[in-house]
Copies of this chain bind each other. A is one copy, B any other.
């Protein structure tokens, strides 16, 4: 059997809970209720792909002092008992009459005093991973206790990565980097994007990924139309630009970066666009510092593209990264989140290369006091040709 501390020593998790508790105190919250896979993994180390099943809700409750309590389906008791969590309360789920509602409400009442406030992430980039009707039932069952938004409590803690987390993310980035190095083995003229996606995932696993949570990409003449579609079965042709983007995971930590390749030949337009993306990224790698705002990333990358004659795409040009494929903040003009040392971010400039066609480029960085440290192996300075 693995150690009780499946991913990190228990002190790592105790430190995280202590940080939650400090912010709970400042926000006058008497308990914190977590329901999402990422939040529960972050607090406990409970790592399972079983979240893929929407059948059962899972809960973790942190009181203001002391250790958190897991309220979970009994099928997870064995795995949870191997984490650092000692207080594990279970029910046989799914139960159509009471799917953990009574057990959760009783636990909340035991941990939060009458009249108290129970924090729950309710804001941007959060979801309540339990049936809405059951949330309302719990609300009725907890008497005069109320739910309050705890998005800030959770996000301000999760967004600063410990050195132990950074090691995990660096390892995942290396796996993806090694995979990208092997793209010439399986992609080129005459092959389909569909086959390339499949081969990419296989190589990623061979290179050490636990699983491949996300692969996207596109291929088209001098660029592509969008970056979230499934693969098509058109054979790639000379002059296509192939982009592959992956969010592989190792020990529950993600990478998220892409690479571009020209099939056979690269046009001047494609080379120039690639160069603008690469150079704009270099600007941000040189200039970004703690104290900047997330919106500054957008400005640096947009300015860098325009200075080199490229027009930025709409939408965000980077985001946080960690125990989910994307985390806050967003590199948009509207996001004024302060950037702090310890944040792991993606720099993701995209440029319009022609009507309905773009190219995107992405690196993963750790923001240190003195600036960015690359976690992804830096992309080649010139567009690689397959």
Listed in ascending order, the chain A residues whose CB lies under 8 Å from chain B are 1-2, 6, 36, 38, 47-50, 52-55, 74-76, 78-79, 82, 92, 94-97, 99, 120, 122-133, 135-136, 149, 151, 197-198, 201-202, 205-206, 208-216, 225-234, 247, 314-316, 319, 324-326, 328, 330, 332, 334-335
Q: A48-B229, A79-B226, A202-B206 are in contact. Are A325 and B53 (CB under 8 A)?
A: yes
The list of the 4 closest CB pairs from A to B, nearest first, reads A78-B226, A50-B228, A53-B326, A122-B133
Q: How far is the CA of A201 from the CA of B200 in the complex (A)?
A: 12
State in angstroms the CA–CA spacing of A135 and B135 once bound together.
13
| Copies of this chain in the oligomer | 2
Q: Is the CB of A216 within 8 A of B50?
A: yes
For residue A227, which residues in chain B have a CB less than 8 angstroms away from its CB? 75
A78 proximity list for chain B (CB < 8 A)? 225-226, 229
Complex interface: chain B residues within 8 A of A325 (CB): 52-53
| CA distance in complex: A75, B97 (Å) | 40
Establish whether residues B127 and A99, one from each chain, have CB atoms under 8 Å apart when the complex forms: no
Bound-state Cα–Cα, A101 to B315, Å: 18
CA distance A208 to B335 in the complex (A): 41
A324 touches B202 (CB 8 A): no
Contact call B122/A127, Cβ cutoff below 8 A: no
